[in-house]
């Protein structure tokens, strides 16, 4: 059931004590979009899945952009802090620890922004086809925060240099970054699921 009492329309599936996942969809997705992926990546985990509050030609997104690959950084900052507030409210409502973000495309970008702007909100992140969220990366303290970046070698949307820079920036902030380039485009593959599942499995429940 979709709920809207915490500031964002969302769905929540209780879990078994495994580290919960915050599911962040890509452009045009919604709060149901990544639930199957979440179940595949972390069977039994609680799933918190919000819908982006921005509409672009009727398609939900988590923040505005000015053009393809050109982000409205002021809006991104505001929406990332809004997302951090949503996570804090959801933790109180549902009694869950800090979640691990699992974000695709637009969702991966706001997850990266949230890591940088609100350290501690997320226990880590799996970033699927992300770009660098800010022209100038904010200073952040991410010591020990686990981050997996999965890029597509034939991705027509995200230049390889973007993901490489994001990996460097997060590592410079202290995150423990693993970056893999898969034989894929912008869409997800079975290899993404397998890599994400293996990554999440070694992260403790609390």
Provide the annotated active-site residues: 105, 155, 186
Tokens (6 digits) for 41: 């990546």
Residue 66 three-state SS: strand
- Report yes or no: 25 and 34 within 8 Å, Cβ to Cβ: yes
Name the percent of the chain in helix, strand, coil, to the closest 5: 30, 25, 45
Distances (CA, A) of 198 to 125, 131, 187, 201: 13, 23, 19, 5
Q: Which of 19, 84, 29, 86 is nearest to 52 (CA)?
A: 29
């Amino acid at each position: 059931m979709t709920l809207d009492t915490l500031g964002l329309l969302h769905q929540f599936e209780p879990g078994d004590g495994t580290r919960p996942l915050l599911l962040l969809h890509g452009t045009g997705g919604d709060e149901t979009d990544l639930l199957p992926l979440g179940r595949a990546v972390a069977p039994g985990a609680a799933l918190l899945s919000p819908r982006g509050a921005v509409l672009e030609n009727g398609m939900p997104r988590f923040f505005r952009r000015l053009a393809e690959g050109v982000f409205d950084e002021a809006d991104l900052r505001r929406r990332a802090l809004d997302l951090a507030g949503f996570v804090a409210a959801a933790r109180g409502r549902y009694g869950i620890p800090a979640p691990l973000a699992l974000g695709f495309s637009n969702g991966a970008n706001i997850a990266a922004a949230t890591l940088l702007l609100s350290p501690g909100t997320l226990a880590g992140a799996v970033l699927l086809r992300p770009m660098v969220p800010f022209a100038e990366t904010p200073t952040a303290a991410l010591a020990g925060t686990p981050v997996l970046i999965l890029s597509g070698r034939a991705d027509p949307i995200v230049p390889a240099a973007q993901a490489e820079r994001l990996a460097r920036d997060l590592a410079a902030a202290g995150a423990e970054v693993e970056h893999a380039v898969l034989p894929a485009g912008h869409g997800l593959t079975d290899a993404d699921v397998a890599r994400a599942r293996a990554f999440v499995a070694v992260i403790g429940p609390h």
